Structures are given as C-alpha cells and as structure tokens.
Amino acid sequence: MENIRTTLKVHSETVLLVNVSLGESTICPADSLDELEALAKTAGAVVAGRVYQKRSRPHPATYIGKGKVEQIAEFVKRNNIDTVIFDNDLSPAQIRELEEITNCKVLDRSELILDIFVTRARTHEAQLQVDLAQLEYTYPRLTQMWSHLDTVVGAGGGVAGAVGAIGTRGTGEKQLEIDRRIVKKRIACLRRQIKEIDRRKERQVCARSKHFTVSLVGYTNAGKSTLMNALTDSKTYVEDKLFSTLDTKTARWVLERDLYVLLSDTVGFVRDLPHHLVASFRATLEEAIHADLLLHVVDVSHPQAEQQLEAVHKVLEEIDCRDKDILLVFNKIDRQPTGTFEMMKTLYPQALPISARKGIGIDKLMEAVLARATGEKLHLQVVCSQGDGRIPSYLRAHGVIISETYDDSKVVLEATLGRKQLGNLKRLNPLECEIISPGSIRSGP
C-alpha cells in the first residue's frame, strides 16, 4: 500500500475526530471531543465529523471496535477525509491497521499535540524541546514513517535528509536500522543541548533568589498570558487558541511602591499531556519548579473547569510542584454563562475570582500575593542614629511608620513590616530592632 503518512501535519486538511471512552472513565465523550476539536482547529484542520464509542477495553488490533472502523472507513470515503484523529494514544500496529482499513492517514492525540507544538515553537530553546519530543515519539514508529523522517530529523537543524544516507549503510544492513541509528544520534545530541539549557536556566533562577518569584500555571487558554499583561508591561502574545505560546516570559510585577516580584508565564497544560512532552519541556517549566509561589489560573467559564484543574495538578505532581505554595485564581468570571462558577466557589472557597480581561479582582489578587511575599505583618520598634537615613527610608518603602521619636543622636521608630522583609532590615544594621508582637529579637551592638 502506498505510504499515506507523508507528514504529521494536519494544516488545511479535512479531519474526522474519534474518541474511545474506556471502562469507568468519568470524562464525558462530548466534552473530550470538544477539546480535541479545539486542538485540531488550532493545528489548522477543518473538522468534518465526530465519532465516539464506549468500550470496556481497547480492541488489540484497532483500538476501536471493528464495526465502528468500517463505519469510519465509509465516512472517510464518502466525505473525502484526509486524516482521522483519535483522542487516544495508539500503538504503531494499531495505526498501521487503521490506515490499511480506512486508506487514510491516522494520527493519535500525542501526534496532534506535537504538530501544534512544532508550529508554536518560536525560540531556539522551544524548537529544541519540540524536536526532542517529536523524535522520541517517532522512534518506535519508524516502520511506518520512513517517508517523512528526513523532515522530522532535520526540523531543528539536525541531520537533514537522513533517509537518503545510503553511503553509511553496511553490507546487508536494512534502511530501518540506519534510520534508527540516525534518530538515536540526533536524540542524544538534542538531550545534550537541552541539558545545557537546563543548567543555564538554573543559573538564571538562582540569580533571582534575592527576589520573590511567582509563576503562572494552568490549563492552556485559561488566560495566563492575558493576566500577565494585566499585571505587568510585558505585552505577552495573546490569542484565543490552545498553546498560543510555548516560551516562558518573566517580568517585574510592582505590588506597592518600591516592592516588586518577578512574574513568569509558562506553557499551558492539557489533559493527558504526553509524558515525553513534560520531560522535554522541563527547562521551560523550570520557572514553576523554582518559584516561591504558583498562581494556578482556572477558566471558570469552561464547563469542564474542575477536570482541567485536576489535570494541572497531575502535571504539577510530575514536575514535583504539588506541595508548593499555590494560590488558586478563578479567571473569566465575566463570561460564565452557567453555574460552573458557583459550584467551583463552593468547592474551593479560598480561590480568588478575577477577570484578567476586564481587570476585575486584580487589586485583591495583588493584596494576596503581597501578603505571601512579605509574610505576616510585625509590629516593630527600631532604633537608629539620626545620620542613618537608610533605615527610615526602607521602612517607608516597605512598611508603615507609626511614630518617629528623636532621642539625643538616635531616632526611635515604631513601624509595621512583613516578616520576610525583616532580614533585609537587619542587614542595614540598626542599633536596636525589637518585635513588639508576637515575640521579640534584638540586633546591633
């Protein structure tokens, strides 16, 4: 049979979406297909139809039932479908069997997400990460994918034209063995480059250790980039599509006067995000891994908001972030047409409701982050010399001076200050520093 998998891309292709709901899955097939349709449209495909089936377990040869496969084949022929996209991960053998029956290209969920990531990767770092994820996914499927291997391997500036490397073939060596060796070599090269990026990212993060750092995390299209723009002057790219950006942005977020934190936007998550994509994008997620605070942004106007929230928690567990200080933020409260918001408020009463687009609730969010950044408010008595203007200036900038008394050559200041800022105050060497409440410490000679 002619090789019909000449490319992983589905841009401008007419596609049929298929969902197989297994066992006791609690995810509604229609909602799952809604997300798959959004992913397909983000990749540039034209959706012509949707099919779903509930099974206790996948069919070993075709994943979906054989009768359903025949229906799909008939639909493909009648409607000139270019590609069938499954909302499940298929084995290479299942893809081969489905393509033979339907005489049509078949992609699974992971391949579709990879296609989107390829088109969305703008920086060299993101392109390397996408290349690695794509090759790791492609490697066990080489028997079906010879004809487009040269494009995949060469995508990030690697070994272009790999399939044609006949000069390297030994006596009796098969083309598949050559392809596998070339792909393995390219994967090792990409891993080395990404490891160096990891080290550089860690150095950058460590350099920011003096500042309180905040990272935005959440389901893709939850409004993280819109919120980033509302809080800072970063002008992050915003589009009403899934995975509008894969690149981490960091900017100053001024909370009050001279106090600011470093705010980072990260790649969005989706349900069942392929594990190799999480691993490849660990460098991109480094900001979240090392952040002092995570702002988990949830689109409460979405009917599957709770499932999306749990999907993000699952990815945070994978990157060892579940136990971090997390502030839940319910975004798009101006859009909610159903009772989703009311239900979510009942389930998560500690969450902060906002609208990043309209600026609703931003002041409350800033207050909450300020409290996290500065810690509990302490009532202090600070003594310094009259000639030392640094200490009164610091207290005015980062706290509130209640009273100021002059005694000979000294100044006695009564003020409130956040606990986390006490260390910076002590580094200015006041003559005395006493916490009036809840306890007391003294510094100076």
Distance CA(142)–CA(256), nearest Å, equals: 56
- Cβ-based burial of 85 (10 A; exposed 0-12, middle 13-18, buried ≥19): buried
User: Which residues, in sequence order, are CB contacts of 121 under 8 Å at separation 6+?
Assistant: 127, 129, 130, 246
User: What is the pLDDT at residue 78?
Assistant: 95
Structure tokens given for 210:
């003096």
Q: What are phi and psi of 339, to 5 degrees?
A: -90, 15
**Structural domains present in the chain:** 14-114 (3.40.50.11060), 121-206 (no CATH), 209-373 (3.40.50.300), 375-437 (3.30.70.240)
Q: Using an 8 Å Cβ cutoff, are 64 and 53 in contact?
A: yes
- Find out whether the peptide bond into 438 is cis, omega within 30 degrees of 0: yes
Residue 14's beta-bridge partner residues? 46
Residue 20's beta-bridge partner residues? 53
HSE (side-chain half, CA atoms, 13 Å) at 434: 7
Distance CA(116)–CA(82), nearest Å, equals: 17
At 92, which amino acid appears? Answer: P
Distance CA(336)–CA(299), nearest Å, equals: 9
Nearest to 183 by CA among 138, 144, 148: 138
Q: Using an 8 Å Cβ cutoff, are 375 and 369 in contact?
A: no
User: What is the pLDDT at residue 210?
Assistant: 65
Nearest to 15 by CA among 66, 67, 83, 77: 83
Tell me which residues of the chain have a pLDDT lower than 50: 1-2, 146-172, 439-445
Question: Residue by residue, what is the 3-state secondary structure of the chain?
Answer: CCCCCCCCCCCCCEEEEEEEEECCCCCCHHHHHHHHHHHHHHCCCEEEEEEEEEECCCECCCECCHHHHHHHHHHHHHHCCCEEEECCCCCHHHHHHHHHHHCCEEECHHHHHHHHHHHHCCCHHHHHHHHHHHHHHHHHHHHHCHHHHHHHHHCCCCCCCHHHCHHHCCCCCCHHHHHHHHHHHHHHHHHHHHHHHHHHHHHHHHHCCCCCEEEEEEECCCCHHHHHHHHCCCCCCCCCCCCCCCCCEEEEEEEECCEEEEEEECCCECCCCCHHHHHHCCCCCHHHHHCCEEEEEEECCCCCHHHHHHHHHHHHHHCCCCCCCEEEEEECCCCCCCCHHHHHHHHCCCCEECECCCCECHHHHHHHHHHHHHCCEEEEEEEEECCCCHHHHHHHHHCEEEEEEEECCEEEEEEEEEHHHHHHHHCCCCCEEEEEECCCCCCCC
User: What is the pLDDT at residue 94?
Assistant: 93
CA 286 from centroid of its chain's CA atoms? 11
**CB count, 10 Å around CB of 239?**
12
In total, the chain counts a number of residues equal to 445
Task: Provide the pairing of β-strand 105-107 with 293-299.
Answer: unpaired
Q: Using an 8 Å Cβ cutoff, are 433 and 426 in contact?
A: yes
Nearest to 270 by CA among 278, 260, 259: 278
User: What is the pLDDT at residue 211?
Assistant: 75
- Cβ-based burial of 228 (10 A; exposed 0-12, middle 13-18, buried ≥19): buried
**CB count, 10 Å around CB of 245?**
22
